[in-house]
Amino acid sequence: MSLDTALARIASLQTMLQPQPVQQAVPQTATQFSSMLQGTTGTPAMGMVPGAPTGGTPAGQAILNAIRPEVGVAEQPPGSNDSPRIAQYRQATAGSGVGPWCAYFVSWAARQAGVPLGDSGQGFGRVDDVFAWAQKTGKALPAGSTPSPGDLIVWDEHIGVVESVDPDGTIHTIEGNSSDQVSQRTYGSDGGGAVGYVRLG
């Protein structure tokens, strides 16, 4: 192979290996741009999981973005209410200790989303305290309300996050400390007897 042929081949390879500019669709109007950011045009908004349900408040969507990757995080050992990751959830709650951690999980999720729970952002270790604060601050929705994705769903002694709501009212959730892990669950339109919901943002 001649030197000229080798240099030509190297130049050709360099051209092929150079990154090509990415073409991005540019909305025609500010309304279209706003719709794209909110994920309402069928095009996923930035940071959204393609095919993930949309709706709710921006804070609710941020909570969902934080907790979806956590599904499957489990206690180590089972039944211990602890693991290295669960210890990180507890850090979002002032004065927390090893114990039932569903409220720690939602406190962590809210803090990750930039809407920490509590008047001082201190988070809560007890479900009752979360709902009492929500009622006091006008963030609580009563039982029988239709929740939105990202709303907290509250039961008598348990709390989770609404992931989506089907047209027939079926409610899908992500919950910490459900069967000793972060689990996805499904309930009827009554939320499995939920006492209410908390809408942040």
- Residue-wise pLDDT tens digits, 72-82: 999 999 999 99
**Structural domain contains residue 155:** yes
Place of tokens 């211990």: 80
**Structural domain contains residue 31:** no
**Structural domain contains residue 29:** no
Residue 150 pLDDT: 98
Backbone angles phi, psi at 43, to 5 degrees: -95, 125
- pLDDT (tens digit per residue) in 135-176: 999 999 999 999 999 999 999 999 999 999 999 999 999 999
Domain residues for 138?
Answer: 58-198
Cα separation values, 17 from 6, 8, 10, 14, Å: 16, 14, 11, 5
Percentage of residues of the chain with pLDDT beyond 70: 73
Tally of domains within the chain: 1
Radius of gyration of the CA atoms of the chain, in A: 23
Residue 37 pLDDT: 40
How many Cα atoms are found within 13 Å in the side-chain-facing hemisphere of 111?
20
CA distance 7 to 17: 15
- The residues with which 165 forms a beta bridge, in sequence order, are 171
- CATH number for position 129: 3.90.1720.10
**Structural domain contains residue 179:** yes
CA distance 122 to 49: 29
**Structural domain contains residue 67:** yes
**Structural domain contains residue 174:** yes
**Structural domain contains residue 94:** yes
Percentage of residues of the chain with pLDDT beyond 90: 71
Q: Which amino acid is residue 34, in one-letter code?
A: S
How many Cα atoms are found within 13 Å in the side-chain-facing hemisphere of 39?
17
**Structural domain contains residue 51:** no
